[in-house]
Amino acid sequence: MPRPHSLSTHYPTAFLTGASSGIGCAIAEMLLAENVRVWGTARDIARLAPLVEKHPALFIPVALDLDNSDAAQAAFETASAEAAPGASSPSFDIVINNAGYGVFAPFADADFSLWKTQLDGMLITTTRLAHAAFRAMQACNRGCLVNVSSLAVDFSLPYMSGYNIAKAGLSALSASLAFEARGTGVCVIDFRPGDYRTAFNRAMQIPRANDSVCVASVWRTIDSQFNTAPLPARAASDLRRALLRGRSGTVRSGSFFQARLAPLVARLLPARLLRALEARYFGSP
Ligand SMILES: NC(=O)c1ccc[n+]([C@@H]2O[C@H](COP(=O)([O-])OP(=O)(O)OC[C@H]3O[C@@H](n4cnc5c(N)ncnc54)[C@H](OP(=O)(O)O)[C@@H]3O)[C@@H](O)[C@H]2O)c1
């Protein structure tokens, strides 16, 4: 039975990329508990079997690889038509662009092809999905588009330049669309999680051993902070509240230090001081 004030009253259907793990999986569980029908993606749909088995009537697995942009858009269009059969402009009630991964390397050390692949997938394909979703939502004047960005937009992550660019770009896209959605029934959420304990660091692409003392020390700090970070159910619960509010804007999620204090400090401090503080925070000698 749907709970009173449950999300499914406002949003019966959702499309969610990267539902197989971490924050995406926690968001899928949160939506399914609210009786929302979820089309959730992974590159290999076998990874979605636990969600299918647990919620056979509500969860529909979709194969989607950000690295194949044409196929990703086609998968989204097919799922939209399934979710709203017969509609002239089929639209999901919620679309969440969550899928993503990190590449950890000094910018000049990694081949440019690695950064290009990351930007093509995480920024261009994601923007393409946002375009398809936003266009359909505008046509029926309702819906909520969520782009999962990162607190890396407030505080850039060292040796993750491609990731920082992709997330800054996504947040800029959300700001642009939030402006365009003013006065309509569509809302756009720029969701910025801080550290959450997921498979993200295990999936991190590290092109070669980091032989520099500085790079190795930063990685140790990032990894140890990650291992004590909150579990992703908290991010899902923050997103649930934002969806129920139904207002466009930026939503930061995570520990008090990362989600509240650090962004405030980042806004107030002069850039030079901020960089020194970042170096200290990340254990850079
Ligand atoms: N964890 C954090 O601390 C944190 C903080 C800020 C922002 N975020 C963002 O939150 C999102 C989810 O990350 P997570 O922490 O939950 O990581 P995760 O546990 O590694 O999950 C990543 C998800 O993205 C999918 N994915 C990865 N690369 C993909 C690709 N090339 N094409 C299609 N799908 C792909 C994975 O699916 P398959 O591998 O099954 O295909 C998986 O479902 C990401 O956008 C990440 O940048 C995470």
**pLDDT of the residue at 1:** 47
Q: How far apart are CA 263 and CA 152, in angstroms?
A: 10
Ligand 1 pocket member 100 (CB < 6 A): yes
What's the chain's Rg over C-alpha atoms?
A: 19
Ligand 1 pocket member 51 (CB < 6 A): no
pTM of the model: 0.96
Helix (H, G, I), strand (E, B) or coil at 231: coil
**pLDDT of the residue at 278:** 87
Amino acid in position 101? Y
Pocket test for ligand 1, best of 27, 98, 234 (most atoms within 8 A of CB): 98
Among the atoms of ligand 1, which is closest to the Cα of residue 167?
47
Give me the long-range contacts of 68-74 (CB less than 8 A, separation at least 24): 69/120, 69/121, 69/124, 69/125, 69/128, 72/125, 72/128, 72/129, 73/125, 73/128, 73/129, 73/132
Ligand 1 pocket member 99 (CB < 6 A): yes
Q: How far apart are CA 154 and CA 41, in angstroms?
A: 28
Ligand 1 centroid to residue 125 C-alpha, Å: 14
Pocket test for ligand 1, best of 154, 198, 250 (most atoms within 8 A of CB): 198
Among the atoms of ligand 1, which is closest to the Cα of residue 199?
19
Ligand 1 pocket member 240 (CB < 6 A): no
**pLDDT of the residue at 160:** 97
Ligand 1 centroid to residue 99 C-alpha, Å: 4
Ligand 1 centroid to residue 171 C-alpha, Å: 16
The rounded average pLDDT for each run of 10 residues, N- to C-terminus, in the chain (285 residues) is: 73 98 98 98 98 98 98 98 87 97 95 97 98 97 97 93 98 98 98 97 86 85 93 98 97 95 89 89 81
Ligand 1 pocket member 47 (CB < 6 A): yes
The CATH H-level superfamily of 10-208+232-268 is: NAD(P)-binding Rossmann-like Domain (3.40.50.720)
**pLDDT of the residue at 284:** 78
**pLDDT of the residue at 65:** 98
Q: What are the residue ranges spanned by the domains of the chain?
A: 10-208+232-268
Ligand 1 pocket member 15 (CB < 6 A): no
Helix (H, G, I), strand (E, B) or coil at 190: strand
Buried b (16+ CB within 10 A) or exposed e, 259-279: beebbeebeeeeeeebeeebe
Ligand 1 pocket member 254 (CB < 6 A): no
- Among protein residues, the one whose CA lies closest to atom 20 of ligand 1: 200
**pLDDT of the residue at 6:** 87
**pLDDT of the residue at 63:** 98
**pLDDT of the residue at 94:** 98
Ligand 1 centroid to residue 55 C-alpha, Å: 22
